[in-house]
């Protein structure tokens, strides 16, 4: 079984502990993936103060570690580098500082049967009624095709506007 450790980058503790995270993960044969904090859901802290862009983290890491970019892909939007000192992989997921929406092909279905075509949008399509109200797949297929055709080209999240983005849904509702 291959384990990947995900860690959300935030100013403060994270900056002090990231080296230990690398050692912890790579000593155990795990990949480590760093992720920028996305402004979803209400939180008790000021995201403008906690947001830590990963290009800053990467520059800082490169003063202590040798990071060699690699083309590996795990199906996630992470861009990977090899940490030469450990031999392990480190991934960077940068939804805010380096918007990768243009290549996004992801949609998510909630446990209540709603299809979300973008993590950074509150809009969803209710598949449950079509699933329960018809015996064939045509109605559901039509809804899915229409939803994909209207998939947003990118999110409208930003740290500066997170308080007015209107996305009250926490990341945990849909998963990452």
Q: Is 30 or 171 the residue whose CB approaches ligand SF4 more closely?
A: 171
Residues constituting the chain: 176
Residues 146-165 that bind ligand SF4 (CB under 6 A): 152, 154-155
CB of 116 to ligand SF4, least distance (A): 8
Q: Which residues pair with 51 in a beta bridge?
A: 10
Q: Is 24 or 100 the residue whose CB approaches ligand SF4 more closely?
A: 100
Q: Is 30 or 107 the residue whose CB approaches ligand SF4 more closely?
A: 107
Q: Among 19, 134, 125, which residue's Cα sits nearest to residue 117?
A: 125
CB of 17 to ligand SF4, least distance (A): 26
Q: Among 62, 64, 56, which residue's Cα sits nearest to residue 14?
A: 56
CB of 38 to ligand SF4, least distance (A): 8
Sheet containing 114-116: order of strands: 108-109, 114-116, 125-126
Q: Which residues pair with 92 in a beta bridge?
A: 34, 79
Q: Which residue is nearest to ligand SF4 (CB)?
A: 104
Q: Which residues pair with 116 in a beta bridge?
A: 108
CB of 56 to ligand SF4, least distance (A): 21
Is residue 68 classed as helix, strand or coil in its secondary structure? strand
Half-sphere exposure of 106 (CA within 13 A, CB side): 18
Q: Is 122 or 141 the residue whose CB approaches ligand SF4 more closely?
A: 122
Q: Is 81 or 165 the residue whose CB approaches ligand SF4 more closely?
A: 165
Residues 99-128 that bind ligand SF4 (CB under 6 A): 100-101, 104, 106, 118-120
> Cβ(93)–Cβ(35) under 8 Å?
yes
> Cβ(166)–Cβ(122) under 8 Å?
yes
CB of 65 to ligand SF4, least distance (A): 27
Residues at the interface with ligand SF4 (CB under 6 A)? 95, 100-101, 104, 106, 118-120, 152, 154-155
């Amino acid at each position: 079984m291959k384990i990947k450790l995900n860690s959300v980058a935030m100013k403060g503790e994270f900056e002090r502990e990231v080296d230990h995270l690398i050692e912890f993960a790579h000593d155990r044969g795990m990949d480590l993936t760093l992720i920028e904090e996305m402004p979803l859901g209400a939180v008790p802290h000021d995201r403008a103060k906690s947001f830590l862009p990963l290009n800053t983290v990467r520059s800082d890491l490169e003063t202590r570690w040798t990071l060699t970019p690699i083309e590996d892909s795990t199906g996630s939007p992470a861009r990977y580098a090899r940490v030469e000192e450990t031999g392990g992989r480190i991934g960077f997921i940068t939804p805010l500082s380096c918007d990768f929406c243009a290549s996004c092909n992801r949609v998510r279905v909630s446990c209540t049967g709603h299809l979300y075509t973008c993590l950074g949008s509150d809009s969803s399509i209710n598949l449950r009624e079509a699933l329960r109200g018809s015996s064939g797949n045509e109605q559901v297929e039509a809804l899915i095709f229409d939803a994909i055709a209207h998939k947003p080209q990118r999110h409208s999240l930003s740290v500066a506007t997170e308080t007015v983005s209107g996305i009250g849904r926490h990341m945990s509702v849909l998963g990452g």
